[in-house]
Structure 1
Amino acid sequence: MSSDTTLTALAAQLELELDGAVELRHQLHARPGLSGDEAATRELVLAALPGGHAATEVAGTGAVVRVGGGGPAIAVRGELDALAVHEETGVPWESRHPGVMHACGHDVHLAALVALARAVDRIGGPAPLLAVLQPREETYPSGAQDVTEDGILDREQCRAAVGAHVQPLLAAGTVACTPGGVNASADEFTVTVRGDGGHAAYPHLTRDPVVTLAHVVVALQSLVSRETDPMSSVVLSVTTLAAGTAANVVPGSAEAGGTLRAMRTADREFLHQRLVETAELVAKAYGCTADVRITRGEPVLDNDAALTAATQPLLASLGLKVATDLRSAGADDFSYFSARMPALMLFVGTHGGTEQLHSPTFLPPDERVRDVAHALLAGYVAAAEQFIPRP
């Protein structure tokens, strides 16, 4: 059976699953769980998945479910966790847990994954589908990192991975299918400058860590503007400052924190090195010392070129408008999948720029469940065609 024929048959079956998927979306949205507390969400999804009783637990509160028989499979991910946001949508099915909300569309992603898995279970697909219910996408330690390091994807013979994420910057009906780096690596850093404190009226008798840290912060901005290729996207943002407790006291230390994003691994490693060197040398020039701690987060999310190219025409045949140039300095831990195997992250339009992710009013219309399901379907069929040997 050709990929076009398979796609058409599965798309038709998907239509029959959408009412149930939308109802599931409402249930998930009303009962969100924070990162690490997703067991109830997992059980709700497993009850809707075919073969959910045969789930394999992974990463604590996550699970995988194989649909479609044995042999090499395609992994399709859905995220379980919600955010610490107080919902302000006013819909009848808004969150019943004050201060917790699906403000990033994970409820939509999960419902779409269930619809696709049920369609594959009913009429078959081009390859087995491994539904990956991943915990802790929104926080550290990363759920995707735990899933990929567990070895479950190797044991299940996964040859590629597909994910989709709603994107309010894109208009409804548009799906971004972009080759190469589409999300940046995301690391956090802390710079602690230590000097000699004392009376603020006698600054010459101190080694002022506050003034020193101010010069460190300014110097760090030049790492991006003067030491990286302007055609390569890099972000270094200092977002926190802390020093002192009294107006007439020069403190003994001062601290700054921030985030470092890069679209290329080489830039990421270079800036790690230069961040440490710059902070230490600037501090030394002012008679202080600097300690730099870098917490490594997600790697670059890199879409496989062949898989991207194979998916684009399938998206178009499903009536979706295809964009090929969306990249973001935001991060998603699906990048751990892309570091292990050919992978594809698709961005599905919702609002055209009138809403923001993580907002208390963010609520993609129910129709987007269909769009996300179609996006996952196109990626799944293309991945099977590209990476599963035909008998």
Structure 2
Amino acid sequence: MNTPVTAEAWRDAVRRHLPAAVELRHALHAAPRLGGVESATTQTVVDALGLGEGRTVAGTGRLLPVAPGPAPVVLRAELDALPVVEASGLPWASTNGAMHACGHDVHLAGLAAVVMAAADLDLPRPVTALLQPREEGADSGARDVVADGAMDDVHAIVAAHVQPRLPAGTIAATPGPVNAATDEFTVTVTGHGGHSGYPHTVDDSVLALSAIVVALQQVGARRVDPTVGVACMVNQLRAGTANNVVPSIAVGSGTVRTMREQDRAVAHAAIRDIAQHVAAGHGCAAEVEIDVAEPPLLNDPRLAVAAGELLTGFGHEVDSSWRSFGSDDFSYYSAHTRSLMLFVGTGDERGGLHEATFWPDDDYVGVVADALIAGYCAALR
């Protein structure tokens, strides 16, 4: 007979399933799949959970009812790996040119432990596991999950993400904005090229683009409230075919990250304004293209506060102020329904996110499980 659920009862049940969850983590880490081709990863997790095949979402994703019923709490973990050649030296390291360098294997294993433990409990509100594809790329899996209607009748959605920029043993449960909106921009500068020995005869697109790169620092320094912040970075420059030829076209591209929608519009307008006017000052013209991507990730304040209280009761150190200008497509859920993203600190002794040496210890599978349980129980309040 199932036991009525309490947070402590669920945690105790999770501990009994941790060995199997850690074994699953090793299997997933050793055989990662890139975004869009995660079917093998999906099936491995589905088979481990034993809940049936569930509902296919976003191509290779899956919705798996754990305790079926209307308006469930959704617990989400990501399926995809990164195109990184692993250098961890682990006995269960990947050898296929891809790597779980962002901790998705830990998130999946933590979710698995929570789901397997739930079979021993009577849950007061339905819960559904979401195995989400394509978190890492611009072709967002979360956006497609929302478009599929899979979030139309949910009470809340909860996720946890390992974070080496937080001290080991700390879990961030921050109300409000926690990750930035991230948009990509491309500046194409057109001038009049020619011989580099006759600089007075050309309108130098490279010089104009270089000035634009420097001037774009105004976006962060002068255009947005510094207590909120913005990050505008030009990360690629492309121009020219020879050392002695001034090119007619130079191209720069990068990202702009903002925490508020109103700052997003200001930043976009500033990039266009700065690029076009600086280019004109060099006798050139500039065209700006901006590809809008993830919105800001906003934690529901009540969920964050309640989860933080529960995690403190579990014995974890809780940080209620930590934020990052990183991005996560979980933000598409926060724009659609109540949501909570918790960050599990791992410390940086084993590298950072997306690095070839990054691997959180297996103990973090249990910590991620604690975070998901706290998020579910917070949603009950």
Report the Cα offset of residue 121 of structure 1: 2.7
CA contact (8 A) 1:186 1:259 kept: yes
CA distance in 2, matches of 1:171, 1:265: 30
Q: Which residue is 1:234 aligned to? A: 230
| Other-structure match for 2:73 | 74
Q: Specify whether residues 159 and 5 from structure 1 end up closer, same or farther in structure 2 by C-alpha distance, changes over 3 A only.
A: closer
In structure 2, the partner of 1:264 is: 260
Residues 276-331 of structure 1 show CA distances to partners (whole Å, capped at 9, x for unaligned) of 12211222232221111111121111111011111111111222111111111111
Equivalent positions of 1:205-220 (< 5 A) are: 205-220=201-216
Q: The residue matched to 1:356 in structure 2 has which SS?
A: coil
Q: For residue 66 of structure 1, what is the amino acid of its counterpart?
A: P
Deviations 1:193-249 (A, max 9, x none): 001112222233222211111221222111221222111121111111111112222
Pick closer, same or farther for the CA change 1:48–1:307 going to 2, 3 Å.
same
Output aligned runs, 1:240-319, within 5 Å: 240-319=236-315
Question: Of 95, 104, 121, which residue of structure 2 is paired with 1:123?
Answer: 121
Aligned to 2:139: 141
Whether the aligned pair in 2 keeps the contact of 1:14 and 1:115 (CA below 8 Å) is: yes
Query: Does the Cα contact within 8 Å between 2:151 and 2:337 map onto a contact in 1?
Result: no
User: Does the aligned pair in 1 maintain the 2:177–2:259 contact within 8 Å?
Assistant: yes
More off after superposition, 357-366 vs 36-45: 357-366
- The aligned counterpart of 2:91 is 92
Preserved contact between residue 85 and residue 101 of structure 1 (Cα < 8 Å): yes
- How far is 1:5 from its partner? 6.1
Within a 5 Å distance, the mapping from 1:85-234 to structure 2 comes to 85-97=84-96, 99-154=97-152, 157-234=153-230
- State the AA in 2 paired with 1:184: A
Structure 2 distance, partners of 1:50, 1:118, is 8
State the SS of the aligned residue for 2:220.
helix
Whole-Å Cα distance in 2 between the matches of residues 318 and 65 of structure 1?
27
After TM superposition, give the deviation of residue 172 of structure 1 in Å: 2.8
CA contact (8 A) 2:189 2:209 kept: yes
Report the counterpart of residue 6 of structure 2 in structure 1. 6
Structure 1: how far apart are the matches of 2:207 and 2:348? 44
Q: 3-state DSSP class of the match of 1:132?
A: strand
Quote the sequence identity (%): 50
Residue 37 of structure 1, CA deviation: 1.3
SS in 2 for 1:382: helix
Give me the whole-angstrom Cα distance separating, in 2, the residues matched to 1:38 and 1:103.
15
Q: Distance in 1 between matches of 2:104 and 2:11?
A: 22
**Tell me, what secondary structure is at the counterpart of 1:280?**
helix
Q: Distance in 2 between matches of 1:325 and 1:353?
A: 23
Seen in structure 2, the aligned counterparts of structure 1 residues 352 and 202 have a Cα distance that, compared at 3 Å, is: closer
**Matched-pair contact (CA < 8 Å) for 1:176–1:346:** yes
1:332 to 312, 325, 328: 328
User: What secondary structure, in the 3-state scheme, does the structure 1 residue paired with 2:340 have?
Assistant: strand
Match of 2:49 in 1: 49
TM-score of the two chains, using structure 1 as the length reference: 0.93
Q: Give 1:354 shift.
A: 5.3
Paired with 1:9 and 1:187, the residues of 2 have a C-alpha distance of 43
Question: For residues 202 and 86 of structure 1, what CA distance do their matches in structure 2 show?
Answer: 46
RMSD: 1.5
Q: Residue 33 of structure 1: SS of its match in structure 2?
A: coil
Q: Which AA in structure 2 matches 1:52?
A: G
Pick aligned residue for 1:343 from 329, 339, 347: 339
Q: Residue deviations 1:248-276, cap 9 Å, x none? A: 22111111111111112211111111111
Contact 1:87 1:100 survives alignment (8 Å): yes
205-214 or 136-145, which deviates more? 205-214
Distance in 2 (alpha carbons) for counterparts of 1:90 and 1:159: 42
Q: Which residue of 1 aligns with 2:32?
A: 32
Kept in 2, the 8 Å contact 1:126–1:381? The answer is: no
Q: Return the alpha-carbon distance in structure 1 between the equivalents of residues 331 and 185 of structure 2.
A: 20
In the alignment, is the contact (CA less than 8 A) between 1:10 and 1:125 conserved in 2?
no
The Cα shift of 1:181 comes to 0.8
Give distance in 1, aligned partners of 2:365 and 2:220: 39
Q: Matches of 2:167 and 2:206 in 1, distance apart?
A: 46
Distance, in Å, in 1 between the alignment partners of 2:350 and 2:109 is 23
Question: How many positions carry a matched residue from both structures?
Answer: 378
Using the alignment, how far apart are the partners of 1:205 and 1:217 within structure 2? 24
Deviation at 1:352, TM superposition (A): 5.1
Q: Distance in 2 between matches of 1:140 and 1:228?
A: 25
Is there any run of 5+ residues in structure 1 with no aligned partner, and where? Answer: 387-391
In structure 2, the residue corresponding to 1:152 is in which secondary structure?
coil
Q: How far, CA to CA, are the matches of 1:59 and 1:285 in structure 2? A: 47
Check conservation: 1:187, 1:294, Cα contact below 8 A. yes
Q: Which amino acid aligns with 2:74?
A: A
Cα contact 1:170–1:353 (8 A) shared by 2: no
- Report the equivalent of 1:389: none
Q: CA contact under 8 A between 2:75 and 2:157: conserved in structure 1?
A: yes
